[in-house]
Structure 1
Amino acid sequence: MEGLAKFPPRPTGAGAMFQLLRDGRPRTRAALVAATGQARSTVAARIDALREIGLLAPAGEASSTGGRPPSTFAFDPTSRIVLGVDLGATHARIAVTDLAGEPIGHLQEPLAIADGPTRVLDWVAEAGAKVIARAGRRADELVGIGIGLPGPVDHTTGRPVNPPIMPGWDGTDVPGELYARLRAPVLVDNDVNIMALGEHRTMCPTVSDLLFVKVATGIGAGVIMDGELRRGAQGAAGDLGHVTVPRAADIPCRCGNTGCLEAVAGGAAIASRLRDQGAAVSSTADIVDLVRAGDLAAGQAVRQAGRDIGTVLAASVSLLNPARIIVGGVLSEAGEHLMAGIREIVYQRSLPLATQHLRIATTGAGAEAGVVGAAHLVTEQYLSAASIDTLITAKEDS
């Protein structure tokens, strides 16, 4: 992250020891000596270093078997803050969290990503300052900003790459633009990746292998394998919406190809078909409202979309063998119509071994998955052993 790169990392050992403390459980010096195998003086020095940078705080006294009770120390996630930003095609959410990813303030507004980077990033900066102030925190406590964009992102640079629904964004230096506005390091990823990360870290951290599928205006997936987010060689992993499906045939997609899943099962495609049938539909949320109101045509259209998505997911299940498929996005709020279609095809077309313990469910984190995942994107880098060693080195050299 830009704010840390100016100081060359120098191993201190405190960063590695801190990883034992990230679960928030209070520990004594003796417990840390036993866990690390280091001398008591070494452990004490590392505790002091972690306290100096604000990541460790006294946590009371442990029970004693005789004599003075030993002091305990624990990770203090409230010492710094992070901004998590989730930008969709037509919405923007932002949250300020502590270093454990716990939201302490949030804001949501309609915002069109097609308005372009200047308008949208200005909103992020203004909303970020507002939500930090409302939470009673200071801008100088901000250690980083995580942001999800609704299009392909080169994760190494944070720049969008030919995003179909983001006119004017191609190649935009999003980290640089936001750093100039908020003076904090910035990490950028695809919006579905951050939703997958948020869902995994908050709702099912013990599930090592899962797919998070977002079904909204477009369709995409975040891939968690072996407990880690997998982006692929160039960050394009999980682009389900542009996999060809037989039923799409020659239907044009906004990506420039034909026959894409998104062209028949995305919210925009469903809304277009319902309008052709005379329905007053202008957005994916309108489709959900119709389904909830019992509209037969809307319910059938959403169920068929589920079947089309299930066709692509069945291949993904055979290829990746996830333990869980989580479905989020606006269209997932349309009751069981979408989920029934997905389950029907996945269980029908995938091998029994691959589906033996497979669970397909809607998101538990809901709309907060994106902002929480964006915050975790930052904290997992900020709290890494190497990053903490760098912070300690900088503190000692200042």
Structure 2
Amino acid sequence: MTTETAGAGALLALMRDGHARTRSDLVKLTGLARSTVTLRLEALLDRRWIVPAEGPVSSGGRPATAFTFNTGARLVLAADLGVMHARAAVTDLGARVLAERRAGIAIAEGPEKVLDWLIEAFTGLLAETGHTLAEVCGVGVGLPGPVSHGTGRPVSPPIMPGWDGFDVPGRLGARLGAPVLVDNDVNIMAVGEHWSTGRGTAHMIFVKLGTGIGSGLITEHRLHRGAQGAAGDIGHIRASAEAADALCRCGNTGCLEAVAGGGALAARLRAEGLDADTAWDVVRLVRAGDRTAVTLVRQAGREIGQVLASLVNFFNPGVIVIGGELADAGEHLLAGVRESVYSRSLPLATAHLNIRVSELGEQVGIIGAAVLVIEETLSPDAVDRSLT
């Protein structure tokens, strides 16, 4: 790779906004010499990172060729592994899902069984779409527990027996022949929601309300993982004093998850004689208009809102996004959350605060896992290395 093409990755970054641009456009944008821009464009064209746009662009003289980012240059394998479900998908470099597969496989069945299903699902999806592993630039995986960002290994996950310290990137990378990025599932959801619907928001909290409770933090448009990757674990913050005796699966009492998580709500509904085993069952009862379920979910929203109010005062987000299975309970849940947040937070912190349900729904994890890989693959340095 010549010195002139060493900055091709930075040029590609400019072209990822979806707009077709000519050589003259890029010369004006970058201030580079036309010959340098031409060399970098040729390098990107050679690896299919960009392609000629359909139809030449005319500004009154001879029509000039425009170029655009090629989202089909590579493929991404993305997975969202939950407590009781697994999703796998193939996407392009625009995070567009080309094919998807789902299964009701529990994370507690262990890493070998779950990851073997994932490998089989990925290879099957590639075959269905007429592609091969050679076209894959990376694999992104979300896990429902703490993950060391540096190693991609789960760290003491409370609901994932057999997963502690398991080499997830090594297992998948050896079978799929591509780099593997692993993160906590709520982190990838935060990334997916921000990338797809919230790029204009610099500070966001994504809250996942499912069997458990967690959050992902976006600050200055970037995912905030903390020193060890444990940032955002709000499920084990102590809830209200009334819930002090509630036993949590982490071993402590009074945790928010033990009071307002989908598993805890289902257990309380069972105690009332209702048929509820999962967070989905809680939502089903709410949608059916069951008064006990509606009252319970609204109160859970208040408990969650009390914890979020502290985060709002401390972090001052512009948006709080509610996702996960319980988000489908709709306004009954949101009403409780908003009631506590707006009554317990500073007026300045809530003046322009938007609290809403995820716009991506159940696909948010898949999109986020894909985006992790896309941003890594398309970083200027990575693109420059691909041209050597």
- Scaled by the length of structure 1, the TM-score of the pair is 0.95
Q: State how far apart, in whole Å, the 1-side matches of 2:354 and 2:204 are.
A: 10
Residues 92-128 of structure 1, C-alpha deviations (whole Å, 9 max, x = no match)? 1111111111111111111100000000000110011
Equivalent residue, structure 1, for 2:15: 21
| Residue among 108, 113, 134 paired with 1:119 | 113
For 1:351, the aligned partner's letter is L
Residue 248 of structure 1: CA displacement?
2.3
Residue 11 of structure 1: CA displacement?
8.0
- Scaled by the length of structure 2, the TM-score of the pair is 0.97
Equivalent residue, structure 1, for 2:265: 270
Answer yes or no: is 1:384 the counterpart of 2:379.
yes
Q: Contact 1:328 / 1:362 at 8 angstroms: preserved in 2?
A: yes
Residue 277 of structure 1: CA displacement?
1.2
For 1:305, the aligned partner's letter is A
Residue 247 of structure 1: CA displacement?
2.9
Answer yes or no: is 1:359 the counterpart of 2:371.
no
Taking a change above 3 Å as real, the CA distance of residues 361 and 234 of structure 1, as seen in their structure-2 partners, is: same
Query: Partner of 1:18: helix, strand, or coil?
Result: helix
Q: Contact 1:210 / 1:224 at 8 angstroms: preserved in 2?
A: yes
| Residue among 244, 254, 271 paired with 1:249 | 244
Query: Partner of 1:170: helix, strand, or coil?
Result: coil
Residue 136 of structure 1: CA displacement?
2.4
Aligned length, in residue pairs = 385
Q: State how far apart, in whole Å, the 2-side matches of 1:342 and 1:329 are.
A: 15
For 1:349, the aligned partner's letter is R
Q: State how far apart, in whole Å, the 1-side matches of 2:381 and 2:31 are.
A: 20
Q: State how far apart, in whole Å, the 1-side matches of 2:259 and 2:25 are.
A: 58
Answer yes or no: is 1:298 the counterpart of 2:293.
yes
Percent same amino acid at aligned positions?
Answer: 55
Query: Partner of 1:212: helix, strand, or coil?
Result: strand
Q: State how far apart, in whole Å, the 2-side matches of 1:54 and 1:156 are.
A: 30
| Residue among 40, 47, 50 paired with 1:53 | 47
Residues 266-320 of structure 1, C-alpha deviations (whole Å, 9 max, x = no match)? 0111111111111111111111111111111111111111111001000000000
| Residue among 296, 304, 313 paired with 1:318 | 313
Q: Contact 1:307 / 1:342 at 8 angstroms: preserved in 2?
A: yes
Q: Which moved more, 1:211-220 or 1:93-102?
A: 93-102
Answer yes or no: is 1:110 the counterpart of 2:104.
yes
Residues 26-47 of structure 1, C-alpha deviations (whole Å, 9 max, x = no match)? 1111111111111111111101
Equivalent residue, structure 1, for 2:169: 175
Query: Partner of 1:16: helix, strand, or coil?
Result: helix
Q: Which moved more, 1:20-29 or 1:378-387?
A: 20-29
Query: Partner of 2:156: helix, strand, or coil?
Result: coil
Residues 163-193 of structure 1, C-alpha deviations (whole Å, 9 max, x = no match)? 0110100000110010112111100000001
Q: State how far apart, in whole Å, the 1-side matches of 2:256 and 2:357 are.
A: 20
Residue 138 of structure 1: CA displacement?
2.0
Answer yes or no: is 1:136 the counterpart of 2:137.
no
Q: Contact 2:51 / 2:69 at 8 angstroms: preserved in 1?
A: yes
Q: State how far apart, in whole Å, the 2-side matches of 1:22 and 1:193 are.
A: 23
Equivalent residue, structure 2, for 1:191: 185
Segments of 5+ residues of structure 1 without an aligned counterpart are 1-6, 394-398
Q: State how far apart, in whole Å, the 2-side matches of 1:170 and 1:65 are.
A: 64
Residue 218 of structure 1: CA displacement?
0.2
Query: Partner of 1:160: helix, strand, or coil?
Result: coil
Query: Partner of 1:93: helix, strand, or coil?
Result: strand
For 2:292, the aligned partner's letter is A
Answer yes or no: is 1:31 the counterpart of 2:9.
no
Equivalent residue, structure 2, for 1:3: none
Aligned-residue Cα RMSD (Å) equals 1.5
Query: Partner of 2:201: helix, strand, or coil?
Result: coil
Q: State how far apart, in whole Å, the 2-side matches of 1:335 and 1:390 are.
A: 46
Residue 10 of structure 1: CA displacement?
11
Residue 53 of structure 1: CA displacement?
1.6
Q: Contact 1:10 / 1:390 at 8 angstroms: preserved in 2?
A: no
Q: Contact 1:24 / 1:76 at 8 angstroms: preserved in 2?
A: no
Segments of 5+ residues of structure 2 without an aligned counterpart are none
Residue 135 of structure 1: CA displacement?
2.1
For 1:339, the aligned partner's letter is L
